[in-house]
């Protein structure tokens, strides 16, 4: 049996004020085509269908249309959970009617214990949840972390395991050891929200949503689908797409989905970016620019958007590799020496004579004000 695994659609999310609904619709149509081409038996959507709990009406219409297209037009069974960006109550609207056509939608941790059986596999649909939700669902105040709650959840799921079936967990959480990127909302810090991988051992496969980088965790049977689109400049070099899980072998194949227009990151001088005989990327693309210039450039964003209407943002290149480092901060140094060091670290050359003079004059004035 072949199961398509996708997650983190974030329908309704924009980029720097640009509406992405059309881009999202195009990626969705490609996803739909993958499901057809690969003749999958069902589709897993592992949370964050919406980008916001209170989506606008246009977004609600688009998501409603997507579910209808897949489930009613294409007759594709769907296994859907809510993520931290979804409103459980709103996403659950109509769920009691959906089951009849094989649309299985779960937004409550308490209901995740009852598996959905398709062919040779039991699917446990575990939505994103807070420890407080687990405390209520299982009447157990001791479940103060996701890890503690997950120990209970997994144990209860194991009680329902049919030994003649495979067991797949569909979930939306932060698997311990994963790497965050820029566009996921960090709900907790300090690892309190992390699920240790060994807790997931009882399952034959774990189809995850939450992290947008599909390579965020390296484990034989635990896989993030990654987001449907590139939603942050940190994701522009990630290949987006979906997985096709073969439940006979519990192996998966990645199928890339290229978004249109693309989201790219260009690092170059303002002159090269704007004055070339042709643009450095298609004018329809969304672009984050990193300028190598150090001079002030007046009316920068407007001038960039004349050539690249979908300019998402612009920043300046530094020569610093933060990880490798930079000089230690030595507060014994006099301010002028410190400034020289910082300038060298970030700009990659020493201050010239004019800059030295300006800095010295300014520092003197600042010291006087003290």
Give residues in contact with a second copy (CB under 8 A).
53-54, 57-58, 60-61, 64, 68, 72, 87-90, 92-98, 100-101, 103
Alpha helices in the chain (DSSP H): 21-37, 57-68, 88-91, 95-98, 131-138, 146-159, 270-275, 300-307, 335-347, 353-369
Residue 313 has φ and ψ, to the nearest 5°, of -170, 170
Complete DSSP assignment for 294-334 = -S--TTHHHHHHHH-TTEEEEEE-----TTT--PPP-TTS-
Tokens representing residue 255 in the block = 């199928």
Do residues 81 and 107 lie in contact, with contact meaning Cβ atoms separated by under 8 Å? yes
Spatial neighbors of 231 by CB under 8 A, at least 6 apart, are 10, 13, 15, 183, 212
Q: Nearer Cβ to a second copy, position 101 or 356?
A: 101
Spatial neighbors of 158 by CB under 8 A, at least 6 apart, are 202
Q: Cβ of residue 48: shortest distance to a second copy, in angstroms?
A: 17
Q: Cβ of residue 27: shortest distance to a second copy, in angstroms?
A: 21
Q: Nearer Cβ to a second copy, position 58 or 155?
A: 58
Do residues 243 and 253 lie in contact, with contact meaning Cβ atoms separated by under 8 Å? yes
Q: Nearer Cβ to a second copy, position 92 or 171?
A: 92
Q: Nearer Cβ to a second copy, position 61 or 160?
A: 61
- The total of other beta-carbon atoms located within 10 Å of residue 169's CB is 25
Q: Nearer Cβ to a second copy, position 98 or 243?
A: 98
Q: Cβ of residue 14: shortest distance to a second copy, in angstroms?
A: 18
Do residues 251 and 238 lie in contact, with contact meaning Cβ atoms separated by under 8 Å? no
Q: Cβ of residue 101: shortest distance to a second copy, in angstroms?
A: 6
Q: Nearer Cβ to a second copy, position 64 or 267?
A: 64
Containing H/E element for 167?
Answer: strand 166-172
CA distance 261 to 256: 15
Q: Cβ of residue 288: shortest distance to a second copy, in angstroms?
A: 32
CA distance 242 to 76: 16
Q: Nearer Cβ to a second copy, position 72 or 284?
A: 72
Do residues 177 and 208 lie in contact, with contact meaning Cβ atoms separated by under 8 Å? no
Containing H/E element for 11?
Answer: none
Q: Nearer Cβ to a second copy, position 91 or 169?
A: 91
Q: Cβ of residue 89: shortest distance to a second copy, in angstroms?
A: 4
Q: Cβ of residue 234: shortest distance to a second copy, in angstroms?
A: 31
Q: Nearer Cβ to a second copy, position 38 or 136?
A: 136
Spatial neighbors of 207 by CB under 8 A, at least 6 apart, are 3, 5, 7, 44, 46, 168, 169, 170, 171, 223, 225, 243, 245
How far is the CA of 91 from the CAs of 164, 170, 256, 297, 332, in angstroms?
32, 17, 27, 46, 58
Q: Cβ of residue 205: shortest distance to a second copy, in angstroms?
A: 29
Q: Cβ of residue 208: shortest distance to a second copy, in angstroms?
A: 25
């Amino acid at each position: 049996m072949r199961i398509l695994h996708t997650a983190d659609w974030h329908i309704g999310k924009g980029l720097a004020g640009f509406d992405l609904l059309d881009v999202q619709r195009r990626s969705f149509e490609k996803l739909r085509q993958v499901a057809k081409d690969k003749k999958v038996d069902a589709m897993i959507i592992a949370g964050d269908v919406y980008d916001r709990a209170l989506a606008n009406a246009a977004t609600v219409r688009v998501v409603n249309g997507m579910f209808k297209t897949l489930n009613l037009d294409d007759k594709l069974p769907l296994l859907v959970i809510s993520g931290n960006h979804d409103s459980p109550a709103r996403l659950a609207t109509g769920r009691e009617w959906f089951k009849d056509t094989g649309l299985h939608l779960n937004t409550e941790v308490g209901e995740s214990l009852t598996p959905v059986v398709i062919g040779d596999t039991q699917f446990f649909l575990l939505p994103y949840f807070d420890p407080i939700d687990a405390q209520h669902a299982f009447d157990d105040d001791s479940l103060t972390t996701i890890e503690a709650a997950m120990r209970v959840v997994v144990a209860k799921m194991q009680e329902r395991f049919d030994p003649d079936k495979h067991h797949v967990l569909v979930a939306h959480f932060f698997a311990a050891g994963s790497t965050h990127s820029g566009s996921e909302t960090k709900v907790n810090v300090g690892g309190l929200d992390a699920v240790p991988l060994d807790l997931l051992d009882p399952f034959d496969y774990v189809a995850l949503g939450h992290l947008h980088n599909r390579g965020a965790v390296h484990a034989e049977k635990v896989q993030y689908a990654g987001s449907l689109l590139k939603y942050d400049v940190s994701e522009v070099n990630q290949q987006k797409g979906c997985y096709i899980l073969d439940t006979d072998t519990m192996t998966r194949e990645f199928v890339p989905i290229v978004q249109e227009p693309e989201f790219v990151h260009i690092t170059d001088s303002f002159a090269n970016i704007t004055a070339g005989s042709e643009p450095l990327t298609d004018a329809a693309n969304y672009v984050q620019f990193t300028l190598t210039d150090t001079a002030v450039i007046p009316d920068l964003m407007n001038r960039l958007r004349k050539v690249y209407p979908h300019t998402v943002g612009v920043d300046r290149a530094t020569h610093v590799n933060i990880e490798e480092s930079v000089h230690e901060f030595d507060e014994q140094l006099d301010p002028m020496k410190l400034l020289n060091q910082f300038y060298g670290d970030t700009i990659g050359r020493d201050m010239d004579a004019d800059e030295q003079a300006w800095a010295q004059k300014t520092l003197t004035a600042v010291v006087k004000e003290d």
